Structure 1
Amino acid sequence: MTDDLPVVIGVLNVTPDSFSDGGLYEDLSAAVEHGVLLYQQGAQYVDVGGESTRPGATRVDADVEIERIVPVIAALHAAGVPTSVDTTRAAVASAALDAGAAIINDVSGGLADPAMLAVAASAGCPYVIMHWRGHSASMQELATYTDVVADVRAELSARIDAALDAGVDASSIIIDPGLGFAKTATHNWALSRALPSFVGLGYPVLFAASRKSYLGLLLDGRPAPQRDVATAATSVLAAQAGVWGVRVHDVQATVDALKVWREWIE
């Protein structure tokens, strides 16, 4: 990949219950092998998560999350693979950073754990603030908006202000509109169409549509692993809208699609 294309972040869930790849990479060697493959296929970062955030998922203890992710992050770091940590907990983020993670990807934007903002400020690393209204077990009950684009922009802006007040440097902040988190399919499409509005907030935007259920609905109920072509299409459209990065399960499909898009517009 080159500087004129969005950053591609590969998804690596070391969980038994993630919606798409749960159970596939619980073994350390399998997780590291897949992380290295994602990097070789063109991911600039591999996003390692130890707790499922799919709708309806139950939480695990922080020590379980740490036990799942730290060995994987440490091994990938030793192999020269840059990583991010997908967590809402300050303690987990700290452990991941100590193991070599370079980015904190917090789907709660600091709401789930108030100590997270201090960790991000102290680390000085890139910090992804996603729009979030509640934990997975009940988040879909919160999918009520007056105007989903305006409401998500306002709520994200409030989290940006909270991060800045906590000492997070503005240059470290990345925002994510949070597709699928307290959102219906209609909300997800509206937010996708409004990506230029989020880019207009002045912060890098991460777009994370990969294999999500609203794509499955569009494709007549197709299961998650069969949504990669649709995901690659969203990656191209997000790139066209000016996003900083895309987070995907199938890195090669998105890298190929983005290369075609770049050549097409040159």
Structure 2
Amino acid sequence: MVVIRCTLLSLLFSALAFALIPSVVKYDSQLSLGAPQKSHVTCPRQNPYVKDGTLIDQLWRNNCDVVDRFLHNAFCLGQATQNGTGLLESFQYYSVQDYYYLLNTVPFDTFLLTTDGPTSPEDTRSDISWVIGRMNKSLGYADEFYQDITSKLNISTSVIDNGIFEAAGLGYVNWLRGSVGLGWFAYEVSRIACIYGWAEIANNLNSSINLDTNSAFYKEWIEVNLGWDYGARHSEKLESELQFYNNSKTFETYNRLFREGMLFEIDFFNSAIGRKLEQAAKAV
């Protein structure tokens, strides 16, 4: 079973959330994200372990237009129903790009550390040692993903090793790097689409009457993402620290990061439509 990017990133940053809490904070007790986006679509949210009124719930329902596009993105719909040609190659191409995404986010532990305030020399040494350990684990997860996609999806190592990280994924990573500069909480908000949203897509697709359960996409993407645990943990983590990062200036930022994260995920998915595996490599 292929190890999935958003699952790995959820595990990697769980501990970091509690390592970078500011000592002095200002917050509002009343969460408000402004007027909902005008939309004629609904945005069902299925995760039963994320309560109504939480930050994720409000962001989700406040942005029904982009949530609907996310849940029904063309790549996942086509892969789930196997409606088209060249779908296995397209999924292989996407998986290679996903590996590059994971590899390029390994240094983010370091970037997040730089957003913390000044510390004592002893704490600085401890933080640096911790980051080195986390980066080694992150690289280990990337290596595990590499092994999975070569064995489970029958992708040649020469294709992966000579590959090009193309515009959709590269732009996504560059945007995430920018959100890192806003601090770890804003960064975690920017990743809601990935860590929380993938399970919503998977469960939505799993209920489709036209679902093809024999496809590689079903076995290596939908089945892997049906669980609610990672999204629930992400919500719990955000709720436990929201009071430290919740003020009138942050609401607009969180809403913007949520929407942009959704749009980057949609573009990243759809960039694989019609692509062939050899197009992921400079030379094979």
Category of TM-score, reference length = shorter chain: under 0.3
Of the two structures, which has the highest relative contact order with CA contacts closer than 8 Å and spacing of 6 or more? Answer: 2
Larger radius of gyration: 2
* Larger fraction in strand: 1
TM-score, normalised relative to structure 1: 0.22
Question: Which structure's residues are more often helix, by fraction?
Answer: 2
